[in-house]
Structure 1
């Protein structure tokens, strides 16, 4: 029984630790096939509360993903790209309990109940939140927003990997697939 609870706790932990959690929202009725070029919305990029190094990492990752999707940068773009960043502390509490029956040979009775107990584990992680906004350049209206949340990394190499991963997962949802 203890093994079942331990296995359940491990599976729950692994499911809750998906590296990047993403979501999207977009303006219904938008024909995303009309958009082929992009540029950065400088005012939005300048206001992002993140270091200049991290900002450059984000913009390079966006450039890479947009290029992979067939978009090109332009001085007369179809869409403007803006970003917003935030961070939050994620607290995960894992409750483990153990109960069971025992048995064996020797003096006295051959079986019995061994007591149970509860064990609480608390995990705290700082997570970064990245919003990528796509704005129709002509109408100046938000047409799509993707949000990604993931634990932050501390070394420059890991920051590059995590930034690329977050941006890729967010933009994987763009353009949105039409519903049948």
Structure 2
């Protein structure tokens, strides 16, 4: 019984994973000098839902404030973000007999032959992305870039999902390791 409960908990945890995060930065930048920030855009870009823009904007403000950064005009660095989504086909092939049982058919468990079948799951999914970019206000050069991607439900705006994506992305700022090569 314990194994069943543990297996169920692990399966539920796997279904509720957070966003995939990637980041990059300029290794020549001294990030310790940045204490204040400002926004590059003060209004949503044309075609973007203004309510979603405000939700993401407020979430970034909250997350940066929690990390000790304050908003100023002009700030030490400037912030911009981009939202995107794309539809994908996700195919999972469970192999010649499926994920749980050996072949079914005449003779299964009676020593006879059981024909093989393939268990393939095909789903249409929508992948949402949030890209956050920071620029040095003095040099106008990019200093940091972070991206969160996760499966989303089109038409459904979930503040908890936005906050999770923003917090997970900004957890990589300021960078503590060398950028990927």
How would you bin the TM-score normalised by the shorter chain? Answer: 0.7 to 0.9
* Alpha-carbon distance in structure 2 between the residues aligned to 1:91 and 1:171: 29
String of CA shifts for 1:83-128, please: whole Å, max 9, x gaps.
Answer: 1122111321011231448434xxxxxx223121012211111121
Q: Show the 5 A alignment for 1:148-163.
A: 148-153=148-153, 154-156=155-157, 159-163=158-162
> How well do the aligned residues superpose, as a CA RMSD in angstroms?
2.5
Are 1:134 and 2:134 an aligned pair? yes
Is the contact between residue 49 and residue 85 of structure 1 (CA under 8 Å) also seen in structure 2? Answer: no
* Greater percentage in helix: 1
Q: Aligned residue for 1:103?
A: 109
Is the contact between residue 44 and residue 53 of structure 2 (CA under 8 Å) also seen in structure 1? Answer: no
* Alpha-carbon distance in structure 2 between the residues aligned to 1:48 and 1:66: 25
SS class of match (1:114): coil
Q: Aligned residue for 1:3?
A: none
TM-score (norm 1): 0.78
Q: Aligned residue for 1:59?
A: 57
String of CA shifts for 1:106-159, please: whole Å, max 9, x gaps.
Answer: xxxxx2231210122111111211110000011111000001111224444xx1
* Alpha-carbon distance in structure 2 between the residues aligned to 1:136 and 1:130: 20
Q: Aligned residue for 1:177?
A: 176
Q: Comparing 23-32 with 48-57, which one deviates more in the overlay?
A: 48-57
TM-score (norm 2): 0.78
Is the contact between residue 49 and residue 84 of structure 1 (CA under 8 Å) also seen in structure 2? Answer: no
* Greater percentage in strand: 1
Q: What is the count of residue pairs matched by the alignment?
A: 159
* Alpha-carbon distance in structure 1 between the residues aligned to 2:135 and 2:109: 68
* Alpha-carbon distance in structure 2 between the residues aligned to 1:178 and 1:150: 24
Larger radius of gyration: 1
Moved >6 Å (runs of 4+): none
- After superposition, the Cα gap between the structure-2 partners of 1:80 and 1:87, relative to the gap in structure 1 and judged at 3 Å, is same
- After superposition, the Cα gap between the structure-2 partners of 1:142 and 1:62, relative to the gap in structure 1 and judged at 3 Å, is same
Q: Cα offset for 1:49?
A: 5.1
